[in-house]
Amino acid sequence: MIIAHQVADVRQAVREARRGDHAVGCVPTMGALHAGHESLIQACREECGFTAVTIFVNPKQFGPAEDFARYPRPLEDDLAHCRSAGVDLVFVPTVEALYPTGFSTYVDVEPLSRVLEGAARPGHFRGVATVVLKLLNIVQPDRAYFGQKDFQQQLLVRKMCREFDLPVEIRTCPTVREPDGLALSSRNRYLNADERQTALSLHRSLQLAAERLQHGERDVRAVAGEMRRLLETAGTRPDYAVVADLESLEELATPRQKMVALVAAHVGRTRLIDNLPITIEPRP
């Protein structure tokens, strides 16, 4: 497994892989790898002869009051995970390698970057889109793999790639959950035992929305209100709890055949997000 810290080393490794006629896949991460990341790596390995994982805690996607400094960085464990998962290349850039002094070019994917996560975390998606564009330009993969767990992020990345004509296919992989429903997240390691129990309310609120809508409830805003109450009663501080259009993420008032429920809530000092696509069968 190649461990690269510099852009030039990544480019050379990818060039050699292409000479061997391998399709190149890329899995961008912030490290603290878990089974969710591993599922993306597996999907990549199934479709690509060469799998590149990037590990970079991107300062530009964290707000000033957010957890950039305390975000976990267990690099040795992450490299061991990658090695045993059969990764070919891990790119671990320094902040200076990606953002040299004077860096000032940014990508804004509007209006998607301003709603939900974007409204709760101003500047977040500008940081995400900018770093993803850079990583895709550095690795130049045939395919890149993202998790449905970050639903808005994968929508935004898809739109950016489409509108900038990037020659990359974006794959979205299903959310990996603990047996009790908690979506895996690097931030789950901040939770103590009580908070972990409380955090189950995110998935419960999404299931509640799915049940109500699948049983014929037509008032989508009332469903969103119930989601929010469930989150509050469990002891979280929700940023949003909505049922939205699958593409624009506009909040819905009446149900569609396909939609997505999304939540973000603070559990103690930890902010968690989750979502659930919902399909309702057309009535005969």
Catalytic center residues: 37
User: Between the CA of residue 225 and those of 134, 188, 256, what are the distances in Å?
Assistant: 39, 26, 18
Within 8 A by CB and 6+ apart from 21, the residues are 49
CB of 221 to ligand AMP, least distance (A): 28
Two tokens, residue 105 = 């070019």
CB of 19 to ligand AMP, least distance (A): 28
CB of 36 or CB of 127, closer to ligand AMP: 36
CB of 118 or CB of 255, closer to ligand AMP: 118
Answer yes or no whether residue 188 interacts with ligand AMP by CB under 6 A: no
CA separation for the pair 114, 118 (Å, rounded): 4
Answer yes or no whether residue 149 interacts with ligand AMP by CB under 6 A: yes
Written as one string, the DSSP assignment of 34-77 is: -HHHHHHHHHHHHH-SEEEEEE---GGGS-TTSSTTTS---HHH
Answer yes or no whether residue 40 interacts with ligand AMP by CB under 6 A: yes
CB of 42 or CB of 197, closer to ligand AMP: 42
Provide the H-helix boundaries in 70-184: 75-84, 95-98, 117-120, 124-139, 151-163
CB of 139 to ligand AMP, least distance (A): 14
Within 8 A by CB and 6+ apart from 249, the residues are 112, 115, 116, 152, 155, 260, 262
| 130, 186, 198, 236: which one binds ligand AMP (CB under 6 A) | 186
Stretch that binds ligand AMP, among 5-13, 36-44, 134-142, 227-235 (CB under 6 A): 36-44
| 4, 24, 138, 184: which one binds ligand AMP (CB under 6 A) | 184
CB of 50 or CB of 56, closer to ligand AMP: 56
Q: Is residue 214 classed as helix, strand or coil in its secondary structure?
A: helix
Q: Which 154-183 positions form the footprint of ligand AMP (CB under 6 A)? A: 173, 175-176, 183
Answer yes or no whether residue 150 interacts with ligand AMP by CB under 6 A: yes
Cis-peptide into 28, omega within 30 deg: no
Using Cβ positions, the residue closest to ligand AMP within the complex turns out to be 147
The site for ligand AMP (CB under 6 A) is made up of 29-30, 36-37, 39-40, 146-147, 149-150, 173, 175-176, 183-186
